[in-house]
């Protein structure tokens, strides 16, 4: 059965790749973008489904450089099926899966398995990220060329840093030939120690071991020096400190091939949220004591760091927003803060969270779309540009969202198996209405009408 042609009428179309930002229509034929702009109704093929998208924003499907699908090995936390459904609900049509699975993604057979399961069970595109080191043990370099040939789009030991400096040097050197970035989880363990949250006033009040900003910044500084030495492609995962932004800014000023990402939670909430009460208990631990759903690595930090990260985004110092979606089963969070697992389930709240920055006037909407589409595609390199564009002939990966729609976060309604979020009960402004991949509907909000085949909305679809 062929792919149904679609005419999406009347949204504000934001396509950062082409600089297009105006109200118009999108025609999708055979799973490809056929045209954008003012499209006369008679240009639509017979039987075309017409979707009224007035009042919505249409843009390329979001690309997530950094998520954890847990399969294989930890299917009780998440599966490719549940994780990709959650991604579609969040507006993501392409996601990159980290390799801290069991077995880890350190050989071509596991890459092949992930590609097979993604085709069989996934509803959005899944790109495997392979290990830098065999077994993610940090002792011996993985067979990088074999993994790249099998389909790995990047290399990382995420969940753990590439601790050995010489191993990191070798990986960066290989990245030059392969054209694939090395993504490092920057954590100097001799400094982070047994820390469970950011070092500061809140950790002191709660009596919890803190993680200093230097634990992140010292390894970033090392990796930047190695990138300069080798000329390799370094991508820094989940920036969280003001000092890290400064290091990145300096590296880019020197022309180094260094990119970085930041997560929605590090942009919008602080370590005050660890006290419970959605950040309202600012002075002391009260009846909430602490909220284990806020435990994440790198940890939530203070307002100064949040402000520096937002400024880094607005200046173009930070290249993209990535979720670091890290789903966990209930028991991993219903315990003491010290025992709780690191990680937040983010895919379904990413848009609503980051739109706060737009509503507060800290970013403009085209800039946010760029950070969720063109930015991550640029990090991945050639071949991914077409997934971040609505130009004719590109895959019809499209998200429709209402930037003003308010909704209350209810983890029980998540499509992800991971319900672990500190945003439970929080009202967010901005919600996905529908997501399309290759012209097929992969998510539809219950309140959004996808229209009927061959029925245009009066007053739309006429030539301007």
Please identify every residue annotated as catalytic: 324
Sign of the dihedral defined by the CA atoms of residues 86, 182, 380, 13, in that order? positive
> Distance between CA atoms of 193 and 196, rounded to whole angstroms?
9
* One-character DSSP codes across 208-251: PPEE-THHHHHHHHHHHHHHHHH---EEE-S---HHHHHHHHHH
> Distance between CA atoms of 104 and 163, rounded to whole angstroms?
17
Strand pairing category for 6-15 and 49-52: parallel
The pair of three-digit structure tokens given for residue 310, joined into one six-digit string = 């937002």
Instruction: Specify the 3-state DSSP secondary structure of 13.
Output: strand
Sign of the dihedral defined by the CA atoms of residues 347, 322, 379, 114, in that order? negative
Find residue 198's DSSP bridge partners.
211
How many CB atoms lie under 10 A from the CB of residue 129?
27
Please say whether the beta carbons of 322 and 66 come within 8 A: yes
> Distance between CA atoms of 461 and 464, rounded to whole angstroms?
9
> Distance between CA atoms of 66 and 322, rounded to whole angstroms?
6
Please say whether the beta carbons of 97 and 127 come within 8 A: yes
Please say whether the beta carbons of 433 and 58 come within 8 A: no
């Amino acid at each position: 059965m062929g792919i149904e042609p679609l005419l999406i009428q009347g949204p504000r179309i934001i396509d950062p790749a082409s600089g297009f930002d105006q109200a118009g229509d999108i025609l999708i034929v055979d799973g490809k973008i056929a045209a954008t702009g003012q499209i006369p109704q008679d240009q639509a093929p017979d039987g075309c489904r017409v979707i009224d998208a007035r009042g919505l924003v249409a843009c390329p499907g979001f690309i997530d450089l950094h998520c954890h699908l847990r399969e294989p090995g930890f299917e009780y936390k998440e599966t490719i099926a549940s994780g990709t459904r959650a991604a579609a609900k969040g507006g993501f049509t392409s996601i990159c899966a980290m390799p801290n699975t069991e077995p880890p993604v350190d050989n071509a057979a596991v890459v092949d398995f992930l590609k097979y399961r993604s085709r069989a069970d996934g509803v959005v595109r899944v790109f495997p990220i392979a290990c830098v080191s065999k077994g993610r043990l940090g002792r011996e370099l993985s067979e990088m060329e074999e993994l790249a040939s099998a389909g790995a789009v990047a290399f990382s030991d995420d969940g753990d840093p590439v601790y050995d400096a010489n191993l990191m040097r070798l990986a960066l050197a290989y990245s030059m030939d392969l054209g694939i970035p090395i993504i490092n989880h920057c954590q100097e363990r001799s400094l982070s120690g047994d820390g469970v949250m950011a070092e500061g006033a809140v950790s002191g009040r709660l009596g919890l071991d803190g993680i200093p900003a230097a634990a992140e910044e010292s390894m970033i500084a090392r990796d930047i020096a190695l990138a300069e030495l080798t000329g390799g492609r370094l991508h820094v995962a989940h920036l969280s400190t003001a000092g890290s932004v400064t290091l990145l800014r300096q590296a880019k000023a020197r022309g180094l091939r260094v990119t970085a990402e930041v997560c929605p939670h590090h942009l919008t909430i602080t370590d005050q949220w660890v006290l419970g009460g959605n950040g309202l208990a600012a002075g002391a631990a009260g009846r909430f004591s602490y909220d284990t759903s806020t435990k994440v690595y790198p940890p939530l930090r203070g307002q100064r760091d949040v402000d520096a990260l937002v400024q880094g985004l607005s200046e173009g110092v930070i290249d993209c927003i990535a979720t670091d979606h890290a789903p966990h089963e209930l028991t991993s969070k219903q315990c003491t803060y010290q025992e709780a697992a690191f990680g937040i389930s983010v895919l379904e709240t990413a848009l609503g969270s980051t739109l706060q920055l737009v509503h507060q006037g800290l970013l403009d909407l085209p800039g946010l779309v760029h950070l969720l589409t063109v930015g991550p595609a640029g990090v991945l390199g050639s071949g991914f540009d077409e997934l971040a564009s609505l130009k004719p002939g590109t895959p019809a990966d499209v998200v429709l969202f209402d930037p003003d729609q308010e909704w209350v976060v209810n983890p029980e309604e998540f499509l992800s198996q991971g319900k672990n979020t500190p945003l439970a009960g929080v009202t967010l402004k901005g919600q996905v209405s529908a997501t399309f991949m290759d012209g097929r509907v992969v998510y539809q909000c219950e309140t959004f009408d996808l229209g009927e085949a061959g029925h245009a909305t009066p007053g739309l679809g006429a030539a301007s």
